[in-house]
Amino acid sequence: MLAVSGVRKNFYGFTALDGVELHVEPGSFHALVGPNGAGKTTLFNVIVGRYRPDAGEVRLAGKRITGWPTHRVVRSGLGISFQRAQAFLSMSVLDNVTLAVLAQEGLTRNGLRPLANFPEARSKARELLDWVGLEERTHEPAESLPLGDLKRVDIAMALAGMPRLLLLDEPLAGLSRSERREMVRFIEELLRGLGLTLLFTEHDTEAVLRLADRITVLHQGRVLAEGTPDEIKNDARVIEAFLGE
């Protein structure tokens, strides 16, 4: 589904990514872990087109997307949800998701008809909000939502184009213990149910081991290990890298 090969990225002489390989199988949940500064965020930004890699390539479902701008990558089947839950705070929850649906359909250039008069996009947005469990809050302003709900809005927006691959950057960051449990259950139920391919980063080891089918460990800009959760848990290099910090 996603193939990253030989990706290298330097920042002013500092090598953030040093020949990274990553293969995400269709239908799998793939976790990307590593200590801070390992290159997770840089790799994410290369995949979503925010950074252009110095070498290597990124393919999405076989199509080469290296160096494409974000808005184009997103409209070719990649859904993105950010670490810091982000919505358009001046709008209602429903308007946020409706806009995301219209953007996927290329209808946001329309300046003539009110947004509220796009019934198909409206009902699609309602369905997405239904999926993420926010059907009761559609008309609330996004700015009034707690963080956990904002993350759900963010995920609903990321799903607007029925992406082949969903990227979640630290979906649990900033949540309380109980919210975390709920979010893990939510990701499992919803995204498995939809048959989505998922690539995510997360610091919460417990959640990673529970959610992931495969784990890639990044360390100092390189892939240190890759395997199933059981393999990674028992990998001597991984243990050394994490405990040796």
With CB under 8 A as the contact rule, which of the stretches 90-98, 170-178, 188-196, 230-238 interacts with other proteins?
90-98
Nearer to other proteins, 125 or 241 (CB): 125
Q: Binding to other proteins by residue 242, rule CB under 8 A?
A: no
* Contact predicate 7/43, CB 8 Å: yes
Binding mask 29-58 for other proteins (x = CB under 8 A): -------------------x----------
Nearer to other proteins, 104 or 201 (CB): 104
Number of residues in contact with other proteins, rule: CB under 8 A?
38
Helix/strand/coil for 145: coil
Q: Binding to other proteins by residue 112, rule CB under 8 A?
A: yes
Which CA distances in Å does 110 have to 74, 90, 115, 160, 162?
20, 20, 9, 18, 22
Tokens of 138: 């559609």
Q: Binding to other proteins by residue 67, rule CB under 8 A?
A: no
Packing angle between helix 147-158 and helix 93-104, nearest 10 degrees? 20
Nearer to other proteins, 62 or 111 (CB): 111
> Which residues 132-171 are close enough to bind other proteins by CB under 8 A?
154, 157-158, 160-161
Q: Binding to other proteins by residue 70, rule CB under 8 A?
A: yes
Q: Write the DSSP symbol of residue 110.
A: -
List strand residue ranges (DSSP E) for the chain, in order: 2-11, 14-24, 29-33, 55-60, 63-64, 78-81, 165-169, 197-201, 214-219, 222-227
> Which residues 175-214 are close enough to bind other proteins by CB under 8 A?
none
Q: Which of 5, 35, 82, 182 binds other proteins (CB under 8 A)?
A: 82
Strand arrangement, sheet containing 78-81: 78-81, 165-169, 197-201, 29-33, 214-219, 222-227
Binding residues (CB under 8 A) for other proteins: these are: 48, 69-72, 74-75, 80, 82, 86-91, 95, 98-100, 102-104, 107-116, 118, 154, 157-158, 160-161
